[in-house]
Structure 1
Amino acid sequence: MLTILFKAWGNAMRVTAFLTILTAAACSKKSSVPTSEPDRTANGYYVSPDGSDGNTGTINNPLRNINTALSKVLPGDTVFVRNGTYAEKIVFPKSGRLDKYITLKAYPGEKAIIDGTTLSITGKEALVTIRNNSFIIFEGFDVCNYKSTTPWVNINGILVDQGSKNIQLKKNRIYNIEHNVKPEDGRSGHGIEIIGNTDVKMQYILVEENEIHDCNTGYSENLTINGYVDSFIIRKNKIYNAENIGIDAAGGYWANSNPAYNYARNGLISENELYNIDMTTGPIGGAHGHGAIGIYIDGARNITVERNKVHECDRGIGIVSENDAYPTSNCIVRNNFVYNGWRTGIYLGGYLNHTSGGTNDCYVVNNTLYQNDRVTGAFGEIEGEIRLTERCNNNVIKNNIVYARATDVFVHKYTTTGANNVIDNNLYYTTGATKWIWNGTEYTGFAAWKTACGGDAASTNGADPLLISTFAPDLHIQTGSPAKNTGVVIAVAVNGDMDIDGNARIVNNKISKGASQ
């Protein structure tokens, strides 16, 4: 326990240091938009559909193409893109530096669209590529309508790779990125893909306040962090209407030829909203049903997933491993709302009868799960609000509110593999019959369940948590809730310093169960 507490604290320190770097960088930049002819070395260039690449690039004499403007910038410059549609594959040709980012952004208050309707794709391509460049900001664009019916291409909205560092993707809208082929023809793509595919560590990646929707990504995901990516923040994004996984921090998928580099690490996934993540809306769902996951940590390590809202998804949050040599390890899932999912709410473990990977040394604390499991799982079973499959070791599940459907299972542990998992201080409630499953055996009595799992001695069963509303729903707790101030304080590094609303998580050394204080 001390080992995972120490590692959780270390991850928190890394994220805090990253946020300090971001704040310092933001403060060092001039954010005002020039109102007169700018000094090229101090300000930047303007692009407009009415411009010409023979122009000087001032606000009154703009360039026509974004790539032309990027070819002219120096560190510290900004390219402002005016209202209109641009049929270009954008490639950043150079880096900024620590105190002088290169910024490409939509002109304030205008809609700049990078549109792939007329553009072809060969192999793996993106509408926006940042490759082996650093100190870049890409902000405020629509990136859209990049589609293909060619088998085995890999189509992306935004691609960041090859050792890029200090990258910020902010306030963009990514949609209609589609690989419209049959599953057997390699249906694959990403709204945003961040992939550490060299021996140079990718660091300080920020993906913030973007909106990704209506993308056909097939076997791939909408927002992916894979390979040698160390220190990243994915926050305040909205992802919806997707046929596969929403956010994926991954390891073990051939992103990097060096096994030691082949997984994402030291990241924060926070304050995102994901909904309508539904595999049955695409052809992959024919074989897998409701198999997609809203937020998925798969073979990555030292990731914190906090203060997210995940609803109407196939599955909510997964800290899972699909690969033998890459167990998901030292992660924290805390202070999230997970509700109205088709299958399980929070999922740990390796895939059943598939791999020897698993989930080790992770925390699942202070989450509110509400009425997931609307349909049965792949084997005709109820997956459970909290699901543990193969090889779960040394994990802690505490302080959660588990409000189940009348036919649901609170906790479902499938097999006898795994050991030393601690389950306690939770609040269980259902209007139907209580049900837990441990090592494949069903228990309907709370006492029998506690004996079987060897835990939950301080948990509560059968007390209505008094949520604000079950209609919308509003999963905050009322003042008189039995969850109020009845949780256990583990440590700030584990419980977090803020609840789902940004309020103090621990008050007078007391903490409530569930995601809200």
Structure 2
Amino acid sequence: MTPKSYLLILFSSLTIHLFHSNSQKANPRSWFVSPDQEQQGNGTLDQPFNTIERGLSEANPGDTVYLLTGVYELEKGLLIEKSGTENQWITLSNYKNLPVMLEGKDYLFDSEGKHLSTDHHAVVLISNSQYFRIHGIQVRNSHSQGIIVRGPETAHIEISNCKIDNTFGSGIGLWYSDNTKVFDCEITGANRMEMATPGRKVGSEAPHEALTVAGATNFEIYQNEIHHCDKEGIDVKEVSQNGKVHHNVVHHLKRQALYVDAWFGELKNIELYENVAYENEWGFVISVEGENSIVDGIKFHHNLIRDNRGSGIYFGIWGNNLMRKNIEIYNNTVVRNGSPNHWSAPTGGIDLRSPNFQDVVIKDNISVRNYGFDLAIPFPYNQENLEEKQLSLINNWVGKNMVVEESSSYGPLFKVNEPTVGSEIFQDFQNNDFRIVKQNIPEKLKKRAHPGA
């Protein structure tokens, strides 16, 4: 073959490939699925498929599979292993924003007839998939988990506008996936012991958390509401790295709203900002529970933490209680946290209970009207201790410097000498309007950025 002939063949092949790609991109298809099991159509709106699996099997990059409104009764989990491309995602969505419910109450056993575990089973499991989004789907009554994204070969996944209710394990979980986003979702009733498969041997509590991020990388969790669940809210754990958690509202949980907790190694580079947490056991907690683990690089800023039973911001002592370092906590509003005679007493605002930290900056926070204290550390407040731990306490405004005389096995706390300010700095403290009234605060505080300003 002459060089000229080779170039002509190559050019023709490229032309055919580009034409095929562009025509496919320009003409994405819509497939339709009905919950009516008697329906056996061809996937059009007038003659929809009768199973979600059939719709997904037909979908190519750029296509959308629409679920028509109704309840889809599932006896097995929906496994999604479809991939789009960077410019042509595959989408599974409700149709015209009408309600679609995936009912999991009859999904009890795996393919071998064993009780469902919560490690590899979910009503919706996205695995071996890339460039796939799920939108507008409701999931309820799962004896395992709700929607799970499992990698590490799974990447570029979006879960949006979904609602998960009443699960044994996580409502939504990201397990070792990459570049996953969860936004505009609602999770209720997660981690319910009574949702275990009947007859299954269970431990002392349901597994995982309402929204679990376990070993995931480059993730983003935002604009979700998580409430009335039996354990933690958003938990970034294990060796997760390079993620953002922001603009979420987490309330009425039996444990902490926002949790960062290392297991199995290094958890690093997590930023949490502009979240609201109220009426939980704790607001925000950093722990290192796992053996041979470390937390390195956390930014927690511009959050509102109020009315939690335990402390608002807390360095947990649970598990192996190992090192956390390079922590920045700044521009947060922490009010009315803590309660009398709490089992982890004393409780209050900013609570650095564990002494296992290094290089921590606590800066420009407002912490007032918390129960036991507004800001306290686990060793006497003096220059030597601050330098040893590389702890910087800069321009925090607190209302109470004394630590109440309550104790537990959780260890001692000591007062911090910081400038004091009262609740009069807020627009309407009693009615939860925490915008700052500029004329009521010191000059230095007027320049402070603030989530309600």
Q: Normalising by structure 2, what TM-score?
A: 0.81
Q: CA RMSD in A?
A: 2.5
Alignment-derived partner of residue 123 in structure 1: 117
Report if the CA contact (8 A) 1:277-1:313 is conserved: yes
Find out whether 1:335 has 2:302 as its counterpart: yes
The C-alpha deviation readout for 1:266-312, integer Å capped at 9, x for no partner, is: 1110000000011xxxxxxxxxxxxx210101123111100001000
Report if the CA contact (8 A) 2:94-2:137 is conserved: yes
* 1:73 Cα deviation after fit: 0.8
Find out whether 1:161 has 2:158 as its counterpart: no
The C-alpha deviation readout for 1:83-112, integer Å capped at 9, x for no partner, is: 101123211132111111110000113111
* 1:475 Cα deviation after fit: 1.6
Aligned match for 2:78, one of 67, 73, 90: 90
Alignment-derived partner of residue 260 in structure 2: 297
The C-alpha deviation readout for 1:472-502, integer Å capped at 9, x for no partner, is: 2112212324167627xxxxxxxxxxxxxxx
Aligned match for 1:392, one of 338, 354, 357: 357
Alignment-derived partner of residue 286 in structure 1: none
Corresponding residue SS for 1:394: strand
* 1:123 Cα deviation after fit: 2.6
The aligned amino acid for 1:95 is S
Alignment-derived partner of residue 437 in structure 2: 478
* 1:204 Cα deviation after fit: 1.3
Find out whether 1:109 has 2:68 as its counterpart: no
Report if the CA contact (8 A) 1:236-1:270 is conserved: yes
Aligned match for 2:188, one of 207, 213, 219: 213
Alignment-derived partner of residue 163 in structure 2: 173
Aligned match for 1:469, one of 423, 428, 439: 428
Equivalence map 1:76-475=2 (5 Å): 76-88=62-74, 89-121=77-109, 122-124=116-118, 125-147=121-143, 155-163=144-152, 164-178=154-168, 189-196=169-176, 202-217=177-192, 218-227=206-215, 229-251=216-238, 263-278=239-254, 292-299=255-262, 300-351=267-318, 354-379=319-344, 381-388=345-352, 389-405=354-370, 407-415=371-379, 419-430=389-400, 434-435=402-403, 440=412, 442-443=414-415, 449-450=416-417, 456=418, 460-475=419-434
Report if the CA contact (8 A) 1:349-1:359 is conserved: no
The C-alpha deviation readout for 1:53-91, integer Å capped at 9, x for no partner, is: 641101111111111111111111100111101123211
* 1:415 Cα deviation after fit: 5.0
Q: What is the alpha-carbon distance in structure 1 between the residues aligned to residue 191 and residue 217 of structure 2?
A: 28
Q: What is the alpha-carbon distance in structure 2 between the residues aligned to residue 465 and residue 219 of structure 1?
A: 43
Q: What is the alpha-carbon distance in structure 1 between the residues aligned to residue 338 and residue 306 of structure 2?
A: 9
Q: What is the alpha-carbon distance in structure 2 between the residues aligned to residue 204 and residue 95 of structure 1?
A: 14
The aligned amino acid for 1:396 is V
The aligned amino acid for 1:213 is T
* 1:409 Cα deviation after fit: 1.1
Corresponding residue SS for 1:486: helix
Q: What is the alpha-carbon distance in structure 1 between the residues aligned to residue 443 and residue 73 of structure 2?
A: 54
Report if the CA contact (8 A) 2:219-2:243 is conserved: yes
* 1:350 Cα deviation after fit: 4.1
* 1:466 Cα deviation after fit: 1.6
Alignment-derived partner of residue 17 in structure 2: none
Find out whether 1:516 has 2:452 as its counterpart: yes
* 1:215 Cα deviation after fit: 2.0
* 1:426 Cα deviation after fit: 0.8
Report if the CA contact (8 A) 2:40-2:48 is conserved: no
Alignment-derived partner of residue 7 in structure 1: none
Equivalence map 1:12-91=2 (5 Å): 42-50=28-36, 54-88=40-74, 89-91=77-79
- Pair 1:219–1:120, CA change in 2 (3 A): closer
Report if the CA contact (8 A) 2:137-2:162 is conserved: yes
Larger CA deviation: 462-471 vs 113-122: 462-471
Q: What is the alpha-carbon distance in structure 1 between the residues aligned to residue 432 and residue 321 of structure 2?
A: 38
Q: What is the alpha-carbon distance in structure 2 between the residues aligned to residue 156 and residue 483 of structure 1?
A: 50
Corresponding residue SS for 2:218: strand
* 1:516 Cα deviation after fit: 3.2
The aligned amino acid for 1:207 is V
- Pair 1:115–1:465, CA change in 2 (3 A): same
Q: Which structure's CA Rg is the greater one?
A: 2
What are the ranges of 5 or more consecutive residues in structure 2 without an aligned counterpart?
1-23, 110-115, 193-205, 406-410
The C-alpha deviation readout for 1:142-196, integer Å capped at 9, x for no partner, is: 111123xxxxxxx100111122100000000000113xxxxxxxxxx11011111
The C-alpha deviation readout for 1:378-419, integer Å capped at 9, x for no partner, is: 35x2123111113121100010010124x4212232358971
Q: What is the alpha-carbon distance in structure 1 between the residues aligned to residue 355 and residue 231 of structure 2?
A: 23
| Number of residue pairs matched by the alignment | 390
Q: What is the alpha-carbon distance in structure 2 between the residues aligned to residue 76 and residue 320 of structure 1?
A: 42
Alignment-derived partner of residue 408 in structure 2: none
